[in-house]
Amino acid sequence: MSENPLGVILNPKSVAMVGASNNPAKMGTLQFLNIRYGGYKGEILCVHPTEKQVFGLPAYAQISDLPFAPELAMLVVPTKLVPEMLEDFGRLGTRHVVIITAGFSETGDAGKDLQAQILDIAARYGMRFLGPNCMGIINAHAPFNATVTPLSTPPGHFSLASQSGTYVAQTLGYLARRGIRMGKAISVGNEASIDLVDCLEYLGADPETKAIGLYIESIRRPREFLAAARKISRDKPIVAQYVGGTQAGARSGASHTGALAGNEQVYDGLFAQAGVIRVAGIEDMYRFGSALASLPPLPGPRIAILTNSGGPGTAMADACERGGLSVPELSPMTQEKLRALLAPHASVKNPVDLTFHVDMTLLTQELPRILLESDDVDALLIHGIMSTGWAEMAFPVFHKAFGISYEELEKGFKVDLSALMDMPEKYGKPLCLSTFMDPATDQAARTFMEHDIPVLDAPEKAARTLAALWAHHGIRARAQDEAKLSETPPEATALLAAAGPNGMDEHLAKRVMAAWGIPVCREEVAKTGDQAEAAAEKIGFPVAVKALSAEISHKTERGLVHLSLADAGAVRQAFAAIRAEAGDVPVLVAEMLPTAREFMAGVTRVPGFGPVVLFGLGGIQAEALGDRAVRLAPLSHGEALELVRSIRGRDLLGAFRGMEPVDEESLASLLINLGNLATATPGIQEIDANPILIKNGRPVVADALFVPGE
């Protein structure tokens, strides 16, 4: 922790504010006010060229006038002044800085040059800084709030690192209204000195952080991100929103793999491999992260639903199953206990539906206890608990009908929630609620939020929140094996050296694969019709005959692939047809493999990411259905198996329509070896193994393409 610069930046004993004045409309002043009046216990030094005092604190005309070197400096000044001021703080002895000022690499070439200049200055003095072009930091536990927005909630255990300053500085009121408590929040800005990986490493080691949220537009160090996140995510959940700010990987390639492994695929693969739970929107990032930080881990997928309305209960059940959870029928013993407390028309199977019911005692005491004590249940969803929010809506009618005062009505609707709030910890099972009441007026919703029990404004949101906990359960249960790189086989080295200036033809590519332990089909090269016929007789009919040339990448479109040839005459005809179309090229005679199931695998190099391995449905389905997934090479055994099982068409891997199941271990081994081949051979830009066919339950590469690098 002490080696990470964020340890000082988030916990400074003293801070210098450059850019604060007595004008509350200025950004620097707003940040200063939140530091000074937000509970910060350290010393604050103000620097201003003309003001003698800033809100009662003495102001120094220049940095060199400061009485000592503050642990942290904050710069909210015109862009052109930043290099000079950074130099001044460096000479003074300050080693940590937050540069709020914009106008650097985000503005073009001149800004990039200026950013390079401040990096050089920082390097000279051993300084590290956040930004430039950021919105500040929050440590609610210190407390230290160096943003433009006051922090009104108690400290929580969900922390955030964001490439958007808005999601750190301008959402605090939004989060407070939803009962979401921030622990630490870091706006990284341009990430010139400190980036997301630094934040992840700091928050991963921070004992006050129990779950981490990330807002990501691009990852500058994906390999380091993977290493850090993979280590952290098993014990500390990581939730991320990625919005595709980079075009890394979003390009067309010379092979199917290069064309199909686009931006979304690469980031999806990185997150899956790292154990990061990806979400579609910022609301889910906050909501899931907060729940993961405050609730006990979900021990299993079985969810009990308790509601006073059929519609919300059904919506919860539907969202649970879509999220990989189950809503099982409760055991006869549990149903009997519930039935003793409920009206005859109520359902006790699951969801447990009281139908319309305004007496909150059952929803908040006995029924939750029965459900959470049951061995049938791993977590509980409740919809419909309401108290003073209902009183506010009912008051106009009740007042006219009964002459009752609002105070009397409100008192009658208040609910004792103490027993229910203790249940998650008592039973070690998560509890999540939904309500249509406004927490600002509803005592029940507000009380749950104050005790870190999630309250959502829609039934489906509550169910999806538990699904996020189940996703982290899967991450915790993953194999902990590590990728192991193999030494390059001598035969593969010799074959690569034999490749001509145009790269490798299909046969040579397959021989390299075979040297790396990747299973390929039986085949022979033929330069004459007689040789082709002899090769077919040796291999055994039926066979395939294909043109063989490193200069012809995609042969099918030109009619240079002839399949299921049953006799010598068909082989000779195919040979003649290929020669007529492609000229004096040899052919490849190969065994025909079963084509009922086609898969594909490949590798492409994505700038910044290195080689990534792709697996999915093959043949024409590869492009038509888009069913594929990627992971960064090299792969561990567990990662390779996860990659195999991550496609939507994974049912094809099992016993399917009379076909025997595919040996998943063999497929995983193929992908591991493919990734190792690419990692050890940087001169290959792309590898295509398409199709991969299944023979006696095991995968065999039927066609291969290597694309050389520049």
Whether 17 and 33 have beta carbons less than 8 Å apart is answered as: no
- Strand 543-547 and strand 587-591: the pairing is antiparallel
Domain identity same for 547 and 615: no
Residues 699 and 553 in one domain: no
Q: Which residues neighbour 494 within 8 Å (Cβ) at sequence distance 6 or greater?
A: none
Whether 529 and 469 share a structural domain: no
Q: Is there a domain that residue 145 lies in?
A: yes
Interhelix angle 664-680/506-515, rounded to 10 degrees, is 110
Q: Which of 395, 393, 307 is nearest to 353 (CA)?
A: 307
Spell out where 207-325 has E strands: 211-216, 238-242, 276-279, 303-307
Q: Are residues 301 and 399 in the same domain?
A: yes
User: For the domain that residue 182 is a member of, what is the CATH number?
Assistant: 3.40.50.720
Residues in the chain: 710
Asked if residue 611 has a cis previous peptide bond (ω within 30° of 0), the answer is: no
**Phi and psi of 26, rounded to 5°?**
-85, 145
Q: What is the pLDDT of residue 44?
A: 98
Confidence of residue 620 (pLDDT cuts 50, 70, 90): low
Domain at 408, CATH number: 3.40.50.261
Contact yes or no for 478/275 (Cβ under 8 A): yes
Outline where DSSP puts E strands in 108-193: 128-130, 137-139, 144-146, 158-162, 182-187
Same domain for 605 and 585, yes or no, is no
Say yes or no to pLDDT of 205 above 70. yes
Structure tokens at 112: 């990039």
- What are the pLDDT digits (tens) for 129-161? 999 999 999 999 999 999 999 999 999 999 999
* Same domain? 24 vs 154: yes
For residues 439 and 411, membership in a common domain is answered with: yes
- The yes-or-no verdict on residue 494 having pLDDT over 70 is yes
Cα gap 580→538, rounded to integer Å: 25
From 558, 592, 626, the end of a domain falls on 592
pLDDT digits (tens, 9 = 90+) for 34-85: 999 999 999 999 999 999 999 999 999 999 999 999 999 999 999 999 999 9
In the structure, what pLDDT confidence band is assigned to residue 356 with cuts at 50, 70 and 90? low
What is the pLDDT confidence band of residue 510, given thresholds at 50, 70 and 90?
very high
Cα distances (angstroms) measured from residue 545 to each of 415, 548, 576? 79, 9, 11
Q: How many CB atoms lie within 10 A of CB 12?
A: 27
Residues 637 and 581 in one domain: no
Answer yes or no: is 551 within a domain: yes
Is 567 in the same domain as 643? no
Q: By three-state DSSP, how is residue 594 classified?
A: coil
Distance CA 309, CA 496 (A): 68
What tokens does 398 get? 């009740």
* Number of domains observed in the structure of the chain: 4
Kindly report, residue by residue over 278-325, the tens digit of the pLDDT. 999 999 999 999 999 999 999 999 999 999 888 999 999 999 999 999
458, 455, 434: which is closest to 446 by C-alpha?
455
The predicted-structure confidence for 388-427, as pLDDT tens digits, reads as follows: 887 888 889 988 898 998 888 888 888 889 999 999 999 9
Domain boundary among 573, 592, 611: 592
In a domain, 101, yes or no: yes
Confidence at residue 258, expressed as pLDDT on a 0 to 100 scale: 43
For residues 34 and 137, membership in a common domain is answered with yes
CA distances from 63 to 27, 54, 74, 103, 551 (A): 20, 15, 12, 22, 66
Other C-beta atoms within 10 Å of 349: how many?
13
CB proximity list for 22: less than 8 A, separation 6 or greater? 29, 51, 53, 54, 55
Query: SS3 for 10?
Result: coil
The pLDDT tens digits for 159-191 are 999 999 999 999 999 999 999 999 999 999 999
Q: Average pLDDT of 355-374?
A: 86
Predicted confidence (pLDDT) per residue in 426-482, tens digit: 999 999 999 999 998 999 999 999 999 999 999 999 999 999 999 999 999 998 888
**How far apart are the C-alpha atoms of 48 and 36, rounded to whole Å?**
16
How far is 9 from 46, CA to CA, in rounded Å? 17
Q: pLDDT tens digits, residue range 696-705?
A: 999 999 999 9
| Domain end point (choices 209, 242, 265) | 209
Confidence label for 352 from pLDDT (cuts 50, 70 and 90): very high
Pairwise CA distance, residues 444 & 439, whole Å: 8
When computed from its CA atoms, the radius of gyration of the chain, rounded to whole angstroms, is 32
Same domain, 426 and 569: no
Residue 537 lies in a domain: yes
321: containing domain: 295-476
Give the per-residue pLDDT at 117: 97
Q: What is the CB-side half-sphere exposure of residue 160 using CA atoms within 13 A?
A: 33
Q: For residue 252, is it within any domain?
A: no
Please tell me whether residues 584 and 691 are part of one structural domain.
no
Which CATH number belongs to the domain containing residue 697 in this structure? 3.30.470.20
The pLDDT of residue 621 is: 67
